[in-house]
Chain A
Amino acid sequence: MCYSSVCMDLAERLSQDLDGNFLELVAAHQDLVYGVALRVVGRPADAEDVAQETFIKAHRALSRYPQLRVRELRLRPWLARIALNQARNAIRARRDSAELDAESTLASRAADGPVLLAERREEGRFWLSLLEAVPHRYRLAVALRHVEGLSYHELAEALDRPLGTVKSDVHRGVSLLRAAYEAELRRQPKLEAVG
């Protein structure tokens, strides 16, 4: 939940002057929205489209909600939830047009990303491949909790699941990830330096 005074204040200001404060909302939460989108759709160009649509949707919703509802909104989980829905729609549309499946491999995902130092890219690819091996249900929960940094409360709200379910999904996902990580370490001991 967004308990910080900055966030509370922003929701309050949005309820009074949506257009005057909306770009501040975008600036404050664009990394989260983009990150959530990226976790689901994989490719940066698609994630940017999803993030754009998320904010357009959010603006439309805020312009229709009653003032009281806007003021009480917990912006981070609310935006994360819209981003998740948009991203799932994008995946569905992509699947329907059935053009990109072959491309959406891990290698192309990592290669599409911004230019990182070779080492970091190597490390990122390593973690991404470990994460990809975790079953979908747990993977998203782990990524939103430990990559994007949502709290459990925010996660429960964003995923529309009970708090206990979300906690156990993250927990289970982390266990699986850890097992894969340790197996990788045993296979290639020099990775210790990477991890």
Chain B
Amino acid sequence: MNAMNMNQGMRQGLHGLRQPAPSGLLPRVGERLGLVEGYVELEGPIGPLFVAFGPSGILLVDRADDAGAFEEEFRVTFGRPLRRLAAAPPRVLRAVDAYVWGRAARRGPAPVDLGHLPDFERQVLIKTLEIPRGEVRPYAWVAAEIGRPRAVRAVGNALARNPIPFVIPCHRVVRSDGHIGQYGAGGPESKRAVLRAEGIDTDELERLPTAGVRFIGSDTTRIFCYPTCRNARRVTDRHRIALRSVDDARRAGHRPCKVCRPVDAPSRAA
């Protein structure tokens, strides 16, 4: 049809009107959607945070003290420079809202990119993402959950190197013996502060194990939990039973909670 209708001149003339997209279009779309790498400063539970992200999710988080040091840390870790962006793309805001503040529902896979880490560290961090806001779990729990029950110390080391604190809540992992444990993003005092900001009574948290209390059971349900498990917190004082170990609990006729899946620390470890 066109062969009859259009001659070569028209064809070329019309074709010549085609113009390529401006070179700035692709980077601007990428930036608006948060699909290029960059970092922004956002509010955090104990002060502002730097949040670095790429197309596959959040890559690095730290407390916002020194932009130069943060950029350098990124460069050393990933071998490329990082640009500061004026505004956070919506997907990063949503991720921080959901994972740091608990203000939005979590949807889909976790918005973190841990591709550069060894398997073990990645498993530890992914498992840690499951610990709900307002609750804590011992290092031994993370180790048991990923099928390496004796690797408690290695779990501690992996969490100490957590590249994405606050989003991956390494502050919610504490020692079984009541010590709050180390914290990469500012030491034990910061760890207490973050936990308190999430509504945890850290004095109580540290007092219980020193008093020999590791688990809380209920004499009506005969189920035992970690003390901060939402199911333990529902047990009224009248029915609360303090338990020192899994054996202790089993002897009293309790079964472990299916939500917090409590385990003993291996005898050697923390």
Contacts and interface: CB of A to CB of B under 8 A. Distances in A.
Interface in A119-135: 120, 123-124, 126-128, 130-131
Nearest to A125: B17
Contact of A51 (B16, B25, B36): B25
A23 B16 contact: no
Given A23-B35, A34-B20, A35-B18, A52 B13 contact: no
Nearest to A21: B55
A131 B17 contact: yes
B239 interface: no
Contacts of B36: 23
Interface stretch (A1-9, A71-79, A94-102, A142-150): A142-150
A71 to B, nearest CB: 17
A27 B26 contact: yes
Interface string A69-109: 00000000000000000000000000000000000000000
Interface in A45-66: 48, 51-52, 55-56, 59
Interface stretch (B1-9, B153-161, B242-250): B1-9
Tell me what chain A mostly uses at the interface: helix, strand, loop, or mixed. Answer: helix
A136 interface: no
B24 interface: yes
Contacts of A146: 2, 6, 11, 14-15
Interface string B166-194: 00000000000000000000000000000
B77 to A, nearest CB: 20
B87 to A, nearest CB: 14
A46 B55 CA distance: 27
Interface string B29-42: 11011011000000
A195 B5 contact: no
A59 B30 CA distance: 11
A19 interface: yes
A142 B6 CA distance: 11
Contacts of A142: 14
Given A23-B26, A52-B25, A171-B1, A127 B20 contact: no
18 contacts: A19-B91, A23-B29, A23-B30, A35-B18, A48-B24, A48-B25, A52-B25, A52-B29, A127-B13, A127-B14, A142-B14, A147-B15, A147-B17, A171-B1, A181-B9, A192-B9, A195-B10, A195-B12
